[in-house]
Amino acid sequence: ILPIYILTQKDYNKGSTAQGLFVDFARNLPNASTYKLCAVLFEIGNHVAVHDCSNMYFQKEYCQKSLLGCWEMLRKLVYTGGICIMGRFTLPRDLYHGTGSLETLKTLTGKKAIVVVGGGSMKRFGFLDRAEQYLKEAGMEVQLFEGVEPDPSVETVMKGAEAMRAFEPDWIVAMGGGSPIDAAKAMWAFYEYPEISFEDLITPFSFPELRQKAKFAAIPTTSGTATEVTAFSVITNYQTGVKYPLADFNITPDVAIVDPDLVAGLPVKQVAYTGMDALTHAIEAYVSTLNGPFTDPLALQAIEMVLDYLPGSYKCDMVAREQMHYAQCLAGMAFSNALLGIVHSMAHKTGAAFSTGHIPHGCANAIYLPYVIKYNAKDAVAAKRYAEIARRMGLAGTSEQALINSLVEKIDEFNVRLNIPKTLKDFGINEEEFKEKVDKIAELAVGDACTGSNPRAIDPAAMAKLLTCTYYGTEVDF
Ligand code: FE
């Protein structure tokens, strides 16, 4: 997913000052190599300027009046993140939270609900029975779709969509860790539009209009992915080994039920990994090139809550566990709208890359985050934002650099407390295998959907260097 800016001089008078200014502007854009520029729209007084990749248009009158002012405005918009892409901020219509909030399923109105779940843990703890009971109390006929696997497959999605077409629910209730909810989001699309294909859906923000047949409720049973509030889903095609990252506000659920009872029994290792995943979501969203006035407060609040409550949650303090469940959800609201950065690009492409075993997503993020902060902080705007996080969290330091160092130290300290290794080497990745694969992984990571909104540009060579730092624990000095 790329933030889209297209600056062409197509509709400009050749040789005009405007041309020079815009060339200069384009050259100074962060991540210039990965940006496309289109549909930039802004208002200046009574004039509306619309920039489109194919048909850039500027009020001539305005151009003549103040070209410099307009350039400065665009520049400021991009640099401060007050992005001039027509902004959209989407969250579920209703979010129910608090102990026992699962019961709000009773208040849904409809005729039929299909409940999509994963393995047996929700059944074992009795939550599935309760959910079913509540939906029946709401007067609905209920059908179960069970057995969504971790990293759900295309086949599972198609089977689920078929079940939905036969049953014709007007509510899809997805319950589980990330996977059943992700799978159900894709099933929803194929239920409503049987004729579409995955290839039609992988272009970001190109979904057909959903909610023609059903609405969607999501109930998370882990604390990290926040898929209950996000516009994302990942489906794997095991035949080709390709992951389809689906992104569209159409798949942001209508209802999220964030009930801490459902995460009371999480294994502590999962608490640590998913908690650090949530912290990474919030920090990456805060420094993303798509950050903005609606996502910043959510990101900062999430960071503060993770710092306050993750250690307690790890020690099974249930008050802290509850707060972490909310913190990860806030982080999800931020990154669903501001997107992420290269910590996630690296985690996505290294997760299943080595024969020594899978690196859990949150664990990979936790390892990479301090290194990426050091890399990104070479960008002036990102540096300011990392320092702002540290300042808001009350970390030590008066200079920008000292504050950034404090933030990195804080993350290092958390990793130690949560028993997360500092390097890929400590994690147990084989050195020879790492060396052999690092260039290929670097290339794939640069091409990941999360790279586009990272605050500092990166090419495969720099990415390979960065990955090498995370392997040996060496300093990021480039
Ligand atoms: Fe994540």
- The two most distant CA atoms of the chain are separated, in Å, by 72
pLDDT one-digit tens code per residue, 278-300: 999 999 999 998 888 899 999 99
CA 201 – CA 206 distance, rounded (Å): 6
Contacts of 406 (CB under 8 A, 6+ apart): 390, 395, 396, 397
- Give me the mean pLDDT over the 402-430 stretch: 97
pLDDT category at 109 given cuts 50, 70, 90 is very high
CA of 292 from ligand 1 middle (Å) equals: 20
CA of 225 from ligand 1 middle (Å) equals: 6
CA 58 – CA 14 distance, rounded (Å): 14
CA of 278 from ligand 1 middle (Å) equals: 7
* 3-class secondary structure, 360: coil
Q: What is the pLDDT of residue 34?
A: 36
DSSP code string of 7-50: ---TTSPTTSHHHHHHHHHHHHSTTGGG-B---EEEEETTEEEE
Dihedral sign, Cα of residue 7, residue 11, residue 14, residue 20: negative
pLDDT category at 56 given cuts 50, 70, 90 is very low
- Decide if pLDDT at 44 tops 70: no
Q: What is the pLDDT of residue 175?
A: 96
CA 402 – CA 362 distance, rounded (Å): 27
CA of 76 from ligand 1 middle (Å) equals: 29
pLDDT category at 17 given cuts 50, 70, 90 is very low
- The percentage of residues in the chain with a pLDDT greater than 70, rounded to a whole number, is 81
More confident residue, 335 or 45: 335
pLDDT category at 24 given cuts 50, 70, 90 is very low
- Give me the mean pLDDT over the 363-383 stretch: 96
CA of 107 from ligand 1 middle (Å) equals: 31
What the block records as the tokens of 458 is: 């990166």
What the block records as the tokens of 450 is: 């999360």
Least Cα distance to 190 among 165, 217, 227, 219 occurs for 165
More confident residue, 382 or 119: 382
Percent helix, strand and coil across the chain, each to the nearest 5: 50, 10, 35
pLDDT one-digit tens code per residue, 75-90: 444 444 443 444 678 9
Q: What is the CA angle 169-333-2, rounded to 5? A: 95
CA 342 – CA 201 distance, rounded (Å): 23
CA of 247 from ligand 1 middle (Å) equals: 14
- Give me the mean pLDDT over the 438-459 stretch: 87
171-176 and 232-237 as β-strands: parallel, antiparallel, unpaired?
A: unpaired
pLDDT category at 112 given cuts 50, 70, 90 is very high
CA of 332 from ligand 1 middle (Å) equals: 9
CA of 365 from ligand 1 middle (Å) equals: 7
Q: What is the pLDDT of residue 87?
A: 60
- Lowest model confidence (mean pLDDT) among 65-69, 266-270, 316-320, 406-410: 65-69
The answer to whether 338 and 291 have CB atoms below 8 angstroms apart is: yes
